[in-house]
């Protein structure tokens, strides 16, 4: 049995993973998903990491999965606990010493139309589910945005990147370049929007468990 530690993205919550968590549990695996303290002004990257590490506890056979902004947290977790694998799903890839707030300019990110968040992030998610996701969103505040990423190098853990082919936020062409420059690998790809865990939970669970 594998334990999957699922890390949500910016402005979100562990709820984002509930469909994937159900799929993984049906396959006989353990799942840990935690709300990062993104809505606390005093919380920094270490607090985000602590939340995941404490939830994992003594579990082993661990796969850490980080989505979007959670890409700044996933490697920090892997530097603290024994992990067999790190999977970045449409995620930001940090560089040593880089604050998350600098990532956008450093990578040449060109933005998107934030006036319609469903169209930008969840255009293929059922309407009621997308609306619930927006209602469950949280404001992300605090010093974590401004803190330099503390690792001097990438943790010694096998890392894969899953790119979403229909992502309108982190577009495929943009992310392929970022993955090449920062990880030096060719990303795996899956159909789906930025919130692929809500639009294609079964397919994402298949990928995570090695069935795709």
Q: Would you tell me the crossing angle of helices 201-208 and 18-26 to the nearest 10 degrees?
A: 50
Which pLDDT belongs to residue 212? 41
Per-residue pLDDT tens for 83-132?
Answer: 999 999 999 999 999 999 999 999 999 877 778 999 999 999 999 999 99
Identify the CA nearest to 94 among candidates 60, 48, 57: 48
Contact indicator for 167, 176 with CB cutoff of 8 Å: no
Per-residue pLDDT tens for 152-176?
Answer: 999 999 999 999 999 999 999 999 9
Contact indicator for 79, 56 with CB cutoff of 8 Å: no
User: In the predicted model, what is the mean pLDDT of the chain?
Assistant: 96
Contact indicator for 15, 136 with CB cutoff of 8 Å: yes
- Taking the model in full, what pTM does it have? 0.96
Overall fold of domain 3-203: Rossmann fold (3.40.50)
Which pLDDT belongs to residue 197? 98
Which pLDDT belongs to residue 211? 61
């Amino acid at each position: 049995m594998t334990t999957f530690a699922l890390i949500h993205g910016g402005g979100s919550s562990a709820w984002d993973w509930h469909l994937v968590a159900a799929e993984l549990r049906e396959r006989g695996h353990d799942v840990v998903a935690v709300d990062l303290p993104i809505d606390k002004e005093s919380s920094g990257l270490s607090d985000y990491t602590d939340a995941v590490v404490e939830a994992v506890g003594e579990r082993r056979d661990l796969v850490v999965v980080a989505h979007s902004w959670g890409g700044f947290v996933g490697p920090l977790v892997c530097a603290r606990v024994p992990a067999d694998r790190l999977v970045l799903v449409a995620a930001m890839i940090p560089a040593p010493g880089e604050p998350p707030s600098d990532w956008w300019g450093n990578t040449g990110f060109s933005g998107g139309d934030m006036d319609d968040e469903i169209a930008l992030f969840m255009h293929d998610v059922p309407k009621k589910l997308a609306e619930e996701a927006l209602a469950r969103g949280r404001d992300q505040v605090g010093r974590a945005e401004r803190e330099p990423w503390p690792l001097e190098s990438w943790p010694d853990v096998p890392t894969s990147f899953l790119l979403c082919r229909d992502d309108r936020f982190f577009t495929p062409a943009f992310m392929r370049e970022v993955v090449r420059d920062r990880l030096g690998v060719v990303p795996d790809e899956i159909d789906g929007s930025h919130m692929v865990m809500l639009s294609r939970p079964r397919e994402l669970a298949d990928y995570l468990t090695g069935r795709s």
